[in-house]
Structure 1
Amino acid sequence: MTLSSSQAVDVLRAAGEPSRLRILALLAREELAVLEICRVLDQSQPRVSRHLKLLAEAGLVERFPDGAWVFYRLTGDGAAAALVAEVLGAIDPADSALYRDAERLSAVWAERATDAGEYFARNAARWDEIRSLYVSDADVEAAILAAAGPGPFKRLVDLGSGTGRMLTLLAPHAEAALGLDLSQQMLNLARNRVTEAGLEGCELRHGDIFATRLPGESADLVVVHQVLHYLADPAAAVKEAARIVAPGGKLIIADFAPHRLEFLREQHQHRRLGFAEPEMARWLTGAGLSKVRITALPPTEKNGLTVMIWTAERARERQRQAA
């Protein structure tokens, strides 16, 4: 798809204002809430919202409500997105305004990381109890086992393994298993748990879901269980998880359907209040996976949360060649 000359002018006009260009540069790093953009730019919400409206009308950014918050991200594809990428790529990385914005965004990231680290450290010992307040673990685990299939699996990778429940559930069906988590407290609990379960060949490692450093296409089962709603860039985490999936392997994601329980954001460090089916399907297929299947588990309590299980596969080599 290409742009007409008038469309190109509209795109460049929308991007060709200092604050709007700064916003595009920020959103090239991650999706952000309106108030976070205000904080980095040190501008009022009405002013930032006006800039975002113009960028959205030009097709350069996407707006998506999430409970009481509103997030923005760069438009994922198309000629307009390609043109913006060219413009941003031509800017000097040492540009003073963008460098200052990047430093302020880093401060926002650091604050988020500190808050999250304190939360997980504070609640590590009660983690399974806290989880049980929102979802029937037995139903979710049964659905995950069904989605995974009987195995055996050569290599299982659990990203954001928490207390290690997915490892104790799935590692008995795997020759080797690896759990990654950023919280040392969670890793300590997970180590105790897998040891008590008598699991051999199960490794726990400090690691980042955005940059696992694992070889591409190296695991025939990858699991991301109740992790994405804590993350600033869940799409990037899905892409990294998909990168690890071997030909013929599966990625299983368990998380919440969209909801409006703001107290989870305020008290429990949830950044996103669930994920819509089309959004997740777009991320999975965009990461090179196919055969996306969905299982919805409605809550047993009146004000509970619906848990979604997404399963996607990487085609085998001969299937890729045939396609």
Structure 2
Amino acid sequence: MSLPSPHQTEQPSGSALGLAESAQLFKACGDEIRLQVLRLLQQDTFGVLELSALLGIKQSAMSHHLKVLSTAGLVESQREGNTIFYRRPLLVPSDAGVEESVLGRVFDLVDELSISDEVRHNLIQIRTQRAEQSQAFFARHADDMQLLQERVAEYGLYAEPVLRLIDQLRDTDWQHAIEVGPGEGHFLVELAQRFEQVTAVDNSAAMLEKARQHCEQAAAAAIDFRHLDTTEAKASGLEADLIVMNMVLHHVASPQCVIEDCSAMLKPGGCLIVCDLNHHDQRWTRDACGDLWLGFEAAELRKWAEASGLEVGECLYIGVRNGFQVQVHEFRRPALAGTNRLSMQNHNSAPYTVVSSS
């Protein structure tokens, strides 16, 4: 083994962080509170007040911890209305550089940490508060929800492209479809024409009743209406070949958890269709439409899906006249080994399509 000359200086490697960056990163990780924050941000985004409540510390102290984590590149902020939420940076494996690779290894280690029972209890409370906020809005506005929704994106502009995607993907032996958050039930009628069994899942009793009435008036085939959230639906043993969420995620308390729940309910080879808003800055939708989130980045949705064991499929972008853009994603649960799904053979269209209503 040859040893380097004492006069020879070691050149910095292109696959490692510099000393200053490394020191900053390890210093940020050298605190129990900051490690707990990173662990909590694995599945959700939180504001400083929520994180303070979760970990039982003062807001000023939490703000300091978040500043340290942000400086080290371990968290990033995103404004939602008047609130700033914090999340872990989106790491895309295909184009990850040195810093992203190191962060990915740090997050892998952090995710092995356990969450205490007390923090889990606080987490349930915060998510319950978010859900109750959304449910209260829908209870107040069940009769005029369609008009409110059309201020953002008219139903027909996204329903037709989503139906075309479903028709393209649908396998001949698919029998059961679930729609999460069916609104007034218009899309349920379309699903009932394509599937032997259709289930509507909604945590708003008022909206579920509106959907039931519409489906009865449309003489739709038998539809099972379940007053459940997705976690309860998963626990009940529901399984489906197709799950659809049209303009739902920006209303739910924890979008990533909902995607995880849906993934667990998909049969092998089944598809999850997510139709929602691209991230925007039109804050009036929070009060006017009950939105908890101002849309999502496409990379964010793909990351959540992949973390839930789903494969990324087709993606459509739909331009609407009032300044919003709608994105439609197909995520697939891997088929069992040895099966030959028709839907895997039908992916002939371009993976990224822009549909404009103008």
Give the TM-score range, shorter chain. 0.7 to 0.9
| Cα distance per residue 1:183-206 (max 9 Å; x no partner) | 111111111122222223310001
Indicate conservation of the 8 Å contact 1:161/1:180, yes or no: yes
1:79 aligns with 2:105: yes
Indicate conservation of the 8 Å contact 2:42/2:88, yes or no: yes
- Structure 1 pair 217–58 and aligned structure 2 pair: CA distance change class (3 A): farther
Give, in whole Å, the separation in 2 of the partners of 1:240 and 1:165: 24
- Structure 1 pair 260–10 and aligned structure 2 pair: CA distance change class (3 A): closer
Q: 2:142 aligns with which of 113, 124, 129?
A: 124
Give, in whole Å, the separation in 1 of the partners of 2:264 and 2:121: 29
How far does residue 236 in structure 1 lie from its aligned partner after superposition?
1.6
1:262 aligns with 2:301: no
1:312-323 counterparts in 2 under 5 A?
A: 312-318=331-337
1:297 aligns with 2:310: no
Q: Which residue of 1 aligns with 2:129?
A: 111
Greater CA deviation, 158-167 or 72-81? 72-81
Q: Which residue of 2 aligns with 1:139?
A: 157
1:52-201 counterparts in 2 under 5 A?
A: 52-58=66-72, 60-66=74-80, 68-74=82-88, 78-86=104-112, 88-89=113-114, 93=116, 99=118, 105-149=123-167, 151=170, 153-201=174-222
Report how many aligned residue pairs link the two structures. Answer: 308
Greater CA deviation, 195-204 or 206-215? 206-215
1:207 aligns with 2:220: no
Larger Rg: 2
Unaligned residue ranges in structure 2 (runs of 5+)? 1-15, 92-102, 341-358
Give, in whole Å, the separation in 2 of the partners of 1:300 and 1:12: 47
Q: 2:58 aligns with which of 29, 43, 46?
A: 43
Superposed CA RMSD = 3.3
Indicate conservation of the 8 Å contact 2:274/2:329, yes or no: yes
Indicate conservation of the 8 Å contact 1:180/1:208, yes or no: yes
Q: 2:266 aligns with which of 245, 252, 273?
A: 245
The aligned amino acid for 2:158 is: V
Give, in whole Å, the separation in 1 of the partners of 2:331 and 2:236: 19
How far does residue 247 in structure 1 lie from its aligned partner after superposition?
2.9
| Cα distance per residue 1:202-236 (max 9 Å; x no partner) | 10001112342268893221101111111232112
Indicate conservation of the 8 Å contact 1:164/1:194, yes or no: yes
| Cα distance per residue 1:37-60 (max 9 Å; x no partner) | 345545245x43331132245565
| Cα distance per residue 1:104-150 (max 9 Å; x no partner) | 55554443333222211111111112111211221211111111016
SS in 1 for 2:175: strand
- Structure 1 pair 221–261 and aligned structure 2 pair: CA distance change class (3 A): same
The aligned amino acid for 1:73 is: R
SS in 2 for 1:78: helix
The aligned amino acid for 2:233 is: T
Unaligned residue ranges in structure 1 (runs of 5+)? none
SS in 2 for 1:173: coil
The aligned amino acid for 1:131 is: Q
- Structure 1 pair 222–111 and aligned structure 2 pair: CA distance change class (3 A): closer
Give, in whole Å, the separation in 1 of the partners of 2:149 and 2:299: 25
1:311 aligns with 2:330: yes
How far does residue 18 in structure 1 lie from its aligned partner after superposition?
5.2
Give, in whole Å, the separation in 1 of the partners of 2:313 and 2:234: 25
Q: Which residue of 1 aligns with 2:257?
A: 236
The aligned amino acid for 1:173 is: R
Give, in whole Å, the separation in 2 of the partners of 1:67 and 1:249: 35
Give, in whole Å, the separation in 2 of the partners of 1:103 and 1:218: 28
1:17 aligns with 2:31: yes
The aligned amino acid for 1:43 is: K
SS in 1 for 2:196: strand
The aligned amino acid for 1:36 is: E
- Structure 1 pair 108–313 and aligned structure 2 pair: CA distance change class (3 A): closer
